[in-house]
Every structure is written in structure tokens, then in C-alpha cells.
Structure 1
């Protein structure tokens, strides 16, 4: 039996309804994943930045008070970024429970959304400041060493010349102090 026009129209509407539900479900899932990925990425990058700071500190150390300041503030910013992102994960689970009909109180998550990003951006700024100040100190130290090495080379060159052939003039035969004159005969010859 062939499908009537009315049945075909109902079937098309059910298919369209199913496609709309699937489309909405896919978009909602993608939106949630994107939001969660942002927090995961911030946690990963902040943890890597903390590890980088620890590596730099154990390698070169701290030479100036302002590099210590940059380092401490960067540590705090990245640590707060990780902490607030983890707190948001916990609040997200509570919010999902609320949406499923649990009796927990409603949580406004919007006020927490930008906080990890702000901490991360400040952390990046202070990490870059720390890097630039450390590079500047290293550059100045290298330049100072070059100048000192050039001065030492010049001093060593003068000392080497003095030690090698500079004293040859002292070895030149000297004339005796009581040199007889040509008209005089030595005392032994007068006899």
C-alpha cells in the first residue's frame, strides 16, 4: 500500500523534528566541550608555565629583587589560574546536578568565567617580564665579561712581551767600568 500524502507529510515532520533534536544536541555538546577545553587548556598551560619557572630558577637563579618580584607574581597568577579553573569544574558539576533536578542551590557561574583567563594573562605578562629581565641581566653580565677578558688579554700580552724578549737588553755585554784610554798603557805594561 502506498503512503498517502498526509502520512508522508507526518513522516517528514517527524524526521525534521528528529534532525532538529540531533542538531541541537550536537551543538549543545560542542558548546560544553569547548567551554571545558578552555579550562583544561588553561590548567595545562599554567602548569607548564610553573614548571618552566621552576626550571629557570634552578638553572640561573635570581640576581635582582625585581626578577624575584616578577617570578613570585607569575607563580601566584598561574597557581590562581589552576585553582580557579579546578573550582569552576566543581561548580559545573553542581550546576549540572541542579539542572537534573537535584535540590542544591543555584550557582551563578558567569562571574567565574573570566577569572582564570585574567590570572593566566597576568601570569604570562609577569613570566615574560621575568624572562626579559633575566635576559637583560645575562646580556649585561656577558658584556662585562667580554670587557674584562679584553683587558686581561691586553695585560697578559704586555706581561708576556716583558717575560719573553723584553729583558734581552739586560743581557747585552757591558763595557768595564775602568776602561783604559788609548794613550795610557795599563799598569802592568809600565815596567
Structure 2
């Protein structure tokens, strides 16, 4: 069975008590994004070489953090990434839509919004594992995030499949979900 690796990281923060204004002044980020870089196990060994090739095209850049790049550098990085055999999946929350809803109290609790978006992302990743020449084994690697209990997340994919009220989530086969496991990088 072929293996796919999903490297997961987030941008933004969970808070929405005092959101940053449109002009970028003060407060918490208006978006929380949980994304995955998806690569085949065969290409996983090339990631460092690809990163080094991209950063060598940029002046005075050692790490690829989009927020630290100017516009021209972002264009170069985007073009280079588009040419690579990798995939991307995102789960996004535009947090200005949460206050005043019935979900506001739930998502104010530490980790709830992050875990909710991770769940959606993992469901989509598991769905992709069943397509094409699948099924594929899915290995999930999280970036380190302060305050996140990765060991408790090891059961998240199976729990999401078993408890989800959404038909798409229930359509996943248990074999794809059972193959998923969690490791913090």
C-alpha cells in the first residue's frame, strides 16, 4: 500500500474576543488556517533539497515563512512550489463569523476551534487517500504547537468518523482512518 505524508501547520490564532481591525491594527488574527503539505513517501526524501533550492533563489532567506517574504519573493516561492509534485489542503475559519452564533461559547474554549479545523482537514485527507490508485496509507505529522496534546489527537480520525453527523465523514472506510496516525515534529 502506497503511503502519503501530510505535514500539518497552522497560521493565525484561535482567539476571537478582540479581532484585529481590517487595517491590521491590534487584536487577534481574523483567520485561523490549518493546512497540510501532502507528499508521497517516495518524494518525502526530496523535501529538504526542494526547500534549499527555493531558498537559494531568495536573498537572505533561510526559512520559508510566507509572512516574512516581500511580494516578489512570494511570487518566486509560489511558482517554485507549483512546479513540485506536492499537494495542499486547507481548513479555514474566518473568525469574524463566530461571535454571536451558538458556537461562540464552544469555540472560546482552548483548543476547540483548532481541533475542529484539524478534524475537517483530516476528513478531507482520508477522502483523498481513497481516490485515484488508492487506498493509500496516511501518515500525519503535526508541527509543534504550544499547549496541544498530540497524544490525545491520535484517536481523532477514528473518533471523527464514528461521531460525525455529516454523511461525507461517515463515507470514509475504516481502513483509511485506521491507517492514520499522529506524530509531532
TM-score by length of 1: 0.20
- Greater strand proportion: 2
- Greater helix proportion: 1
Kindly indicate whether structure 1 or structure 2 has the higher relative contact order, using CA contacts under 8 Å at least 6 residues apart.
2
Higher gyration radius (CA): 1
